[in-house]
């Protein structure tokens, strides 16, 4: 089964996956990929643009391979704001779309506390593109931030 986990930055998408995936499952998370490709001491978030460039390429390669294995293992993919084209592909793959949204106020507080201020723009865009009352998979806070 393919699970596509969406939501604004700092919503708790990785935490949702950690609470649902098993050690045998495949998890495709750009933050984790970037950390794996970065040297010691690299930041958890706010990664270097060059590291992100390489991580994006690795993510696409991982997606292609994992999608072919989704009948053998569960695949969890974080995709913050999938396009219509991506959503159509996920539908063809019979993916389950999971939206993690603890609410705009919580997200903005988390961004202010631990993310690059530019992520506020991404979160604002995410909320503008979504219905006023999001049907989130996790409307509560995912953990004490």
- Residue 141: the pLDDT is 46
What Å distances lie between residue 73 and 21, 68, 119, CA to CA? 10, 10, 32
How does DSSP classify residue 52?
H
- Residue 143: the pLDDT is 47
What does R_g of the chain's alpha carbons equal in angstroms? 15
Give the mean model confidence (pLDDT) for residues 85-90: 96
- Residue 46: the pLDDT is 67
Distance of alpha carbon 6 from the chain centroid: 6
Give the mean model confidence (pLDDT) for residues 70-79: 98
Q: Is pLDDT of 75 > 60?
A: yes
Q: Tell me: the pLDDT tens digits for 105-124?
A: 999 999 999 888 989 999 99
């Amino acid at each position: 089964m393919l699970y596509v986990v969406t939501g604004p930055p700092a919503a708790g998408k990785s935490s949702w996956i950690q609470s649902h995936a098993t050690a045998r499952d495949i998890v495709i998370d750009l933050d984790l990929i970037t950390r794996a490709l970065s040297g010691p001491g690299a930041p958890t978030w706010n990664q270097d643009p060059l590291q992100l460039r390489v991580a994006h390429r690795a993510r696409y390669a991982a997606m292609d391979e994992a999608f072919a294995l989704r009948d053998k293992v569960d695949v969890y993919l974080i995709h913050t704001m999938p396009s219509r084209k991506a959503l159509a592909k996920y539908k063809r793959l019979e993916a389950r779309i999971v939206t993690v949204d603890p609410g705009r106020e919580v997200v903005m507080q988390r961004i202010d506390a631990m993310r690059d201020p530019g992520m506020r723009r991404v979160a604002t865009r995410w909320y503008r593109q979504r219905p006023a009352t999001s049907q989130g998979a996790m409307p509560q806070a995912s953990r004490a931030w």
